[in-house]
Structure 1
Amino acid sequence: MREIELNIGGKVSKILIGESIENISKYVPENCIVITDKNVSSIYGKSFNKYPVIEIEPGEESKCYATIENIFRKLIELKADRDAFIVGIGGGVVTDISGFVASIFKRGLKFGYIATTLLGQVDASIGGKNGINFYGVKNMLGTINQPEFILSDLNLLRSLPEKEVRNGLAEIVKTALILDYNFFDFIKVNFEKVISLDKDVLEEIVFRTAAIKSEVGRKDERENGIRRLLNFGHTIGHALESVLGLSHGEAISIGMIKAIEISIGKLNLNREVLETVRKLLVRIGLPVERKFDSGKVFEAMVNDKKRFDNKIKFVLLKDIGKAEIVEIGIDELRRYL
């Protein structure tokens, strides 16, 4: 097992990479309540059935206020008090919902995560962001609150469809593109071993991605500076995810290509970078383009959390491993779609 300790303002969170879900009792108190989805519960429920379990439907559709209300009702039925501990066991949807619920129920409960997807282990569970979609806009309501721990059991990834592993690789590529040239080279050489779930390579990839994101979060928890770089590919990507119903990884893959195309015009990025990244994403099995209604995508982008007045703080690439935040006017951005 490899461990990362994230200390933000004296609040310490531990990321446990390679720890087993079977050891859950080492990290949670007796008054633990599990939030998970029905798929995870059906496969791994025996590992946590000693605790009360609240199940939700799997999928992005569950990230809505109706789900939150239902969980609140069940917590009240369970007589959860302010000493209760919430643990979210699942992918990004479950951890987003669990963190949001724990952060606002009775003004805040302690909580932790057991991330069961590659996307969850390298991105969604790390950094303290949580929330739900509202009025058709992704993650419109939410908080920033750090979990007590994030347990990443690599063996859980063996139950995933291969498509979900590829989706996770989109966020891993993004992290390397904005902050670590050498890591990008490592991914190019080893992505096939990630897809085949080679344990040693998988552990290294998850550890390095989690370490980078943790360090960014430590420096800028509230997303006022460097943490904004992690939004690379997400401004257009989130809009495509909402409008086209793409998976997160698919949408971010296309969003990164769009951002690189804009970078060529705005920052004089070498066009060879576009071909290098495009080739890697295609080899991973991720889409790099889709036909879409530019009007609908633009409307979704206008509602983006990164918009200030009539500008969006857009993350562009200066080179592989180097990114920059550039303010782009809404009207100018429309022309790039």
Structure 2
Amino acid sequence: MNQLAAGKNMETGKPGFDFKHSLAPMVRLLSLLALCVLLSFLNPNFLTLKNIINVLRQTTILAVLGLGLTAVILTAGIDLSVGGVIALVGCLTAQLIINHVPIAAAILIGVGVGALIGALNGVMVAKIGLPAFVATYGMMWIAQGLAQILMQGKIVFGLPEEFLWLGTGYIGIIPAPVIITLVLAVVFHCFLHQTVYGREIYALGANRSAADYSGIRTTNTLIMVYTLSGVTAAIAALLMTARLDAAEAGMGEPFLMQSIATVVMGGTSLLGGEGGIPGTMIGALILTLVVNGLNLMGVSSLIHPIVTGAVILLAVFFDIVTRRWSE
């Protein structure tokens, strides 16, 4: 398999419009639109500008996490360390800032820590040969433990306005984190579809043996995607810390399964080689809209995990059915 063939858009399968291969992306988009229509009927406040902006802001954490995870899952891998990275980077950056480290330096250190953890994950998977589940699950606990040691049960808050702008500021009428997320999404999409590295990621996920045979440096590619996942988890941590004006050791716990669900709901196959960034963005919006809709309807927070889980299962089920039909 040559790299040109490997780089073909795995969501469409072949050049030009093909209804069968376009069905799954169409179903995801229609599901998003149907959810918006349903929520607007259930609550007139849903389509207000204030709520739309709020939904977009809430989507940013899952969306940014999903960018790096998409690259990892495209290689048939998994990264369970993202929740731990969020906790460690958020807590470390907040501690640095309140101890008068310049904000830019604190941000760079935080992103660097995320990249280092991701690179270590990649080395364990690609060079040592550990299963991705085992390597990243262990790293999750290491990062979580370091965050707990760093915080000693405390919560850091009262961060400077210059840092909080990342999570609460605006560019015009659009929240700054939304702009940051959109820019990152465009960069990742172009990276996956317009570069040799992106084509190698798809090729590796589609058939690792064929990728090795065609001369693709699979070890370097794996280290790269896990590093990218660490970087996006670190950026998500910064956005979350800035939005909440707080950091504590358990701040990343809710995002582990939600972030993976976002990518899978967006159509990226857990078997690798198929999917992309647009689908992940739709998946993040769907998951956020479900939670937002429940809040608008006054549904108890105890019910949220049940409804969210049901929506995830339904979305994955329909995705599997449409993919089988399109084959």
TM-score relative to the length of structure 2: 0.27
Question: Which structure has more strand as a fraction of its residues?
Answer: 1
Structure-1-length-normalised TM-score? 0.27
> Comparing both structures, which one devotes a greater share of its residues to helix?
2
